[in-house]
Amino acid sequence: MPDSRHPAFKFGFIWAALLIALFGGFAMGAHVAYIVGFGYPIGKSYYALIQTHGHLQLIGWTGLFIIGVSLYFFPRMSHNPVGVGKQNAILGLLSVGLVLRFVVHNITPYVILTAWFKPLNWVIFLSGIMEWLGVLVYIIVLLRSMTAGSAGARLKLETIRPLLLMTFAGWILYTTVQVTLLFDMVRTGELVLDSSWNALSVTAFIYLVLLPVCFAVSIRTFPLYLRLPVVRWSVPAFAGIYFISVLLQLGWFLQPSVYAGIILKNILILWFIWKLDLFSGLKRLRTFFRKEPEIVHRETAREKYPDYDEWGRFEWLIRSAFLWLAVGAILELVSGISFVFNLAIYINSDAVRHLVVLGFVTLLIFGMAPRMIPGFIHVKKIAYPGLVTGTFWLGNTAVVFRVFPILVRGKIPWEPVLGAMYGWSGVIGMAAILLLAVNLYRTARNK
């Protein structure tokens, strides 16, 4: 018999994600961007910093957020709780692993010529093992929760199941490649992971974990949160073709496959955004029945939305997130087509990557967190709806500052301005994270 007694939302995942983002991932990104943007010399820790920044952002910031929300959201849909002990184990393994990686990979560049280097490199490997185990437990418990229980309960997850299964494949692929690369790094006495395999695992994580989970959550929640039409197309068919496109892209040893994958994948992403109807959907309002009691601080629902402004302007963040995803998809599509037809149009791949991970995924989290998380802890209003607007402006400024300079570098003559924008991008990103953290903290205190 499935157990219907679900444990309370584990806020620890959100705190860990915010702390690792603020003091780890974003702080390291800000540091590197400042050095590069203002022309300071690059130190010997540069590549270790970049790799650790990328890893902390992917697994610590977006990953912990996704794990925390999914362990609350999906077991409730299938009526199969995931126990507190298992959630604690996942949180413990991942946070300790991430903190070890953060601290020790920041030290090794400075002790490379000493006897400390090898043992510390082993500690980094150990951190990878801890993360790998944490992810394994996560996948096992979520898979069990999704597959056990009554057929009726499982049916609720039917539409998005292929997207979720794809994310599991992505988690396993990323963490397994990372552990293998860490072992190789220790074995060969290197300071950093092999860059091409690392880049491949990063791409796998972004397109097999981050995008599918964002798609799944959008499909399930936007009809409710934004009054958008429910999906009337085949999500499994979409997921299947999308999965093939990403596999083609990851087949990096076969050049034609890579570009076929890139072109197909980006067409699918654009098609998905189009079908969500995010930008024209307000014309097609669906009838909405409000189930929760009304909120007192405003008398009437917001025009065209089913809420009373109690979550702030979260939809601005969601719309801008998808706008950045569309820009990233168009740019990567252009670069794929340019390669196939020898057009010599160069698009900076790091700009595309940050349009997706910062512009899309991070802004989507900024928008979804104030809308979703208060409900998880039974609070009917975000503490400061105005701060959501602040997050919108800071978040979007961080995206523009981080991406625009590297897209136009060498094409327009404003080097000092572009450098300064790039240099401040990370600090602005940190300020956005701080606003979200303060807002969620106060909301949790208001419980």
Judged by the rule CB under 6 A, the positions of this chain that interact with ligand HEM are 26, 29-30, 32-33, 50-51, 53-54, 57-58, 61-62, 198, 202, 350, 354, 357-358, 361-362, 398, 402, 425-426, 429
Q: How far is the CB of 236 from ligand HEM (least distance, A)?
A: 27
Number of H helices, E strands in the chain: 17, 0
Comparison of 157 and 177: residue with beta carbon closer to ligand HEM: 177
Q: How many Å apart are CA 65 and CA 12, to the nearest integer?
A: 10
Q: How far is the CB of 206 from ligand HEM (least distance, A)?
A: 7
Task: Give Cα separations from 251 to 72, 201, 248 (angstroms).
Answer: 35, 12, 5
* CA pair distance 312, 435, nearest whole angstrom: 13
Q: Which is nearer to ligand HEM, 45 or 51 (CB)?
A: 51
Residue 342, class by beta-carbon neighbours within 10 Å (0-12 exposed, 13-18 middle, 19+ buried)? exposed
Minimum separation from the CB atom of position 7 to ligand HEM (A): 28
Query: Strand, coil or helix: what is 112?
Result: coil
- CA–CA separation, 22 vs 33, rounded Å? 15
Going by C-alpha positions, the residue among 85, 94, 65 that lies closest to residue 433 is 65
Minimum distance from residue 185 beta carbon to ligand HEM (Å): 13
Nearest-CB residue for ligand HEM: 54
Q: Which is nearer to ligand HEM, 78 or 121 (CB)?
A: 121
Instruction: Give me the least distance between CB of 301 and ligand HEM, in Å please.
Output: 33
Tokens 């939302």 belong to which residue?
A: 9
Reported residue count of the chain is: 447
Q: Closest separation between CB of residue 421 and ligand HEM, Å?
A: 11
Centre a 10 Å sphere on the Cβ of residue 369 and count the other Cβ atoms it contains.
Answer: 26
Please say which residue, 26 or 168, places its beta carbon nearer to ligand HEM: 26
CB-wise, 13 or 238, nearer to ligand HEM? 13
Which tokens hold the place of 4? 């219907």
For CA atoms 301, 303, 304, 305, give the dihedral sign: negative
Nearer to ligand HEM, 193 or 276 (CB): 193
Would you say 201 or 218 has its CB closer to ligand HEM? 201
